[in-house]
Homo-oligomer: A and B are copies of this chain.
Amino acid sequence: MKTQFIVRWLLASTLLLVMSAVSFSQEAAEGTPVSPAGAPMPAPGIPIPGLTTDTSGPVVVAASEINSGDTAWMLVSSALVLMMTAPGLALFYGGLVRKKNILGVMMQCIILMGMMSTLWVVVGYSLAFDSSIAGGFVGGFKMVMLNGMNISGNGLTLIHKLTIPDLLFMVYQMMFFIITPGLICGAFAERMKFSAMVLFCALWGLLIYCPVAHWVWAGDGMFNHANQDAKFAALDFAGGTVVHLISGASALLCAIMLGKRLGFGQDPMPPHNLTYTFIGATMLWVGWFGFNAGSAGAANAQAVSAFVATHLAAATGTLTWAGIEWFKRGKPSILGACSGCVAGLVCVTPAAGYVTPTSGMILGIVAGVVCYFACTTIKSKFGYDDSLDAFGVHGVGGFAGALLTGIFASAEIAGEGKGGLIEGNSQQFVNQLVACGASLALAVVGTFIILKVVDALVGLRASQEDEIQGLDLSQHGEEGYIISY
């Protein structure tokens, strides 16, 4: 057991070490002078803004000093996005599994909080936000271990055109790096080996999330709307593509490649604690304000717009899903309401900050309809076992959101040149499609390869006996609720 463990651990660690080593040697070789302010971009002066604020937006911030209000809001937003992973997502997902797997879900979340944070500092942030290498496929290695960053937190680079310390931008983005693989866990819940899950998420984060984040949000990312050289400048305010679409698509592949849970289709597998699912869903709702309104990078008008659109999409998503159930089976369910609110939130994620309140409401309605359809009709038609509907909600909702952003984006809110189809900008819709297509392709191919590798290294699925006993006992030697003493 122990030797096996060590072998596997070494294998995994080696992978990471190699990557870091490459980075340092590369850097040494290139001898790139890193500016004292920590700006790793080769050509200062040329505006290469990241994230979602840029010079054409409605709010032009002078990137010359730290603004305490913006900093306060981004500190809070970072905390809120962490809260989304746990307790938020952990409860939302945890309530949906059977009692014997509740700790398994929670363990996945907290280990991701530990592991992805560490990886982000070590190499992830660099892969995502350093200037492009490999023809734009991914960021370079110059910021490995936060190299070149002003770690006193006092520095401000022009790169992100933000009025908050670079370190804060780094940690805010870290929270996205934690939750995204967490979403995938919904697909392989109740049956994946813990070691496999750890290895899978580490690789997936570095090899899939980082490139896509680079494409969409890095200053020289090929789909970044703020990059003037981008041919297919996409709009993705807070991660419809980067977070939801690719995690959802990867989730579907996981569900298919791992196979169904034992007894799926015969034994009843109802949620063991819908009160947890409810608590989790409402915490996600609250935390999502950090996710979406925080993506403005400041406590400004765009943050407020994003906040309102986000809230309204959640509201109409809730009503829509529950309403469909009410109509179709005579009773609206709490699981339906919770699913609808999350679907609305997912769908508005790329659009928040770019759309009007009314459009936010429409997005929520569309999300409610398409995700309901995906989680019921489509899933039962194809028969895959996406345990907690990671694909049905995040994959489908994220895709819908990306496209709808291309339709409903309003230049009045998003800034000049960022209108969507309804404002006659059909190119934007095409760009959204292209960005989604490229991201989907990487997600599917990459996930396939990673799953194969992980399977070869440690095996993907828990043994039949372990699965029957439940992951809590078999993987962690604990039980969730012990009420007999």
Contact = CB atoms under 8 A, between A and B. Distances in A.
Interface string A297-313: 01111111101100110
A207 interface: no
A151 B412 contact: yes
A153 B301 contact: yes
A82 B285 contact: yes
A102 B275 contact: yes
A302 B303 CA distance: 24
B333 A476 contact: yes
A396 to B, nearest CB: 20
A102 to B, nearest CB: 6
A123 to B, nearest CB: 14
A315 B73 contact: no
Contact of A110 (B58, B86, B338): B338
A171 interface: yes
Contacts of A267: 485
A245 interface: no
Contact of A307 (B68, B171, B270, B330): B171
Given A110-B281, A301-B154, A70 B73 contact: no
Given A68-B73, A316-B114, A304 B1 contact: no
A478 interface: yes
Interface band, chain A: 35 or more
B286 A79 contact: yes
B301 A152 contact: yes
B118 A332 contact: no
In the complex this chain forms, how many copies of it are found? 3
A268 interface: yes
Interface in A59-100: 59, 66-73, 75-76, 78-80, 82-83, 86-87, 90-91, 94, 98-99
A86 B412 CA distance: 33
A481 interface: yes
A66 B278 CA distance: 36
Contact of A79 (B71, B80, B164): B80
Contacts of A94: 275
B78 A167 contact: no
A341 interface: yes
A110 to B, nearest CB: 5
Contacts of A303: 71, 75, 153
B286 A82 contact: yes
Contact of A332 (B70, B75, B194): B194
B305 A167 contact: yes
B312 A478 contact: no
Contacts of A327: 2, 5-6
B413 A312 contact: no
A171 B167 CA distance: 28
Contact of A485 (B2, B272, B326, B483): B272
A68 B357 contact: no
15 contacts: A1-B330, A67-B68, A107-B332, A110-B318, A114-B314, A121-B312, A121-B358, A152-B412, A153-B302, A153-B308, A167-B305, A171-B308, A272-B485, A333-B477, A335-B478
Interface of A: 1-2, 5-6, 58-59, 66-73, 75-76, 78-80, 82-83, 86-87, 90-91, 94, 98-99, 102-103, 106-107, 109-111, 113-115, 117-118, 121, 145-146, 151-154, 164-165, 167-168, 170-171, 174, 194, 267-276, 278-279, 281-283, 285-286, 289-290, 293, 298-305, 307-308, 311-312, 314-319, 322, 326-327, 329-335, 337-338, 340-341, 356-358, 361, 412-413, 475-483, 485
